[in-house]
Amino acid sequence: MKAAVVTGFGKPLEIQERPVPEPGPGQVLVRMETCGICHTDIHAARGDWPVRPRLPFVPGHEGIGPVTAVGFGVGAGLVGSRVAVPWLGSSCGSCRYCVTGRETLCESQVNTGYSVDGCYAEYTVADARAVVRVPDAVPSFEAAPLTCAGVTTYKAIKAAAVVPAERVAVFGAGGLGHLAVQYARLVGGFVSAVDIEPDKLGLAHQLGADQVVNSRTHDPVEEIGRAGGADVALVLATAPQAFEQAFRSLDRGGRLVVVALPGGDASMDLPIHKTVLGGISVIGSVVGTRQDLAEVFALHAAGRTRVIAEPRRLEQVDDAFDEVLGGRAEARLVLEF
Ligand code: ZN
Ligand code: ZN
- Å from CA of 257 to ligand 1 middle: 17
Question: How many whole angstroms from 225 Cα to the centroid of ligand 2?
Answer: 41
Whole-number Å distance, alpha carbon 147 to ligand 2 midpoint, is 21
Are 280 and 250 spatial neighbours (Cβ–Cβ below 8 Å)?
yes
pLDDT at 59: 98
Interval between CA 46 and ligand 1 midpoint (Å)? 15
Mean pLDDT across 37-51: 95
How many angstroms separate the alpha carbon of residue 137 from the centre of ligand 1? 23
Does the pLDDT value for residue 131 go beyond 90? yes
**pLDDT higher than 90, residue 335:** yes
Please give the distance, rounded to the nearest whole angstrom, from the Cα atom of residue 39 to the centre of ligand 1.
Answer: 6
Determine the pLDDT at residue 57.
Answer: 98
d(CA 148, ligand 1 centre) in Å: 5
pLDDT computed for residue 184 by the predictor: 98
Predicted confidence at residue 330, as pLDDT, reads 85
Q: What is the pLDDT of residue 332?
A: 94
CA distance 98 to 107: 10
> CB–CB of 161/187 below 8 Å?
no
CATH number at 149-284? 3.40.50.720
Predicted confidence at residue 308, as pLDDT, reads 96
Residues of the chain with CATH 3.40.50.720: 149-284
CB 53 within 8 A of CB 2: no
pLDDT surpassing 90 at residue 263: no
Distances (CA, A) of 260 to 39, 209, 252: 10, 20, 23
Q: Band of the pLDDT at 287, cuts 50, 70, 90?
A: very high
pLDDT at 264: 82
Instruction: Give ranges for CATH 3.90.180.10 in the chain.
Output: 2-133+307-336
In this structure, which ligand is nearest to the CA of 93? 2
Q: What percent of the chain has pLDDT over 90?
A: 96
How far apart are the CA of 106 and the centre of ligand 2, in A? 4
CA of 279 to the centre of ligand 1 (A): 31
**In angstroms, what is the span from residue 35 Cα to ligand 1's centroid?**
11
Ligand number nearest to the C-alpha of 62: 1
Per-residue pLDDT, 210: 98
Mean pLDDT of the chain: 97
Closest CA to 88 of 62, 67, 69, 70: 62
Query: How do residues 155-207 score in pLDDT, each as one tens digit?
Result: 999 999 999 999 999 999 989 999 999 999 999 999 999 999 999 999 999 99
Binned at pLDDT 50, 70 and 90, residue 146 comes out as very high
Q: Relative to the alpha carbon of 59, which ligand is closest?
A: 1
CA 138 vs. chain centroid, Å, equals 18
CATH 3.90.180.10 fits 2-133+307-336, yes or no: yes
Cis peptide leading into residue 12 (ω within 30°): no
Q: How much is the pLDDT for 143?
A: 98
Q: Summarize the confidence of residues 195-223 as an average pLDDT.
A: 97
Ligand 2 mean position, distance from CA 291 (Å): 16
Residue 213 sits at the vertex; the CA angle it makes with 209 and 214, to the nearest 5 degrees, is 130
pLDDT confidence band for 295 (50 / 70 / 90): very high
Label residue 327 by pLDDT band (50, 70, 90).
Answer: confident
Ligand nearest to the CA of 102: 2
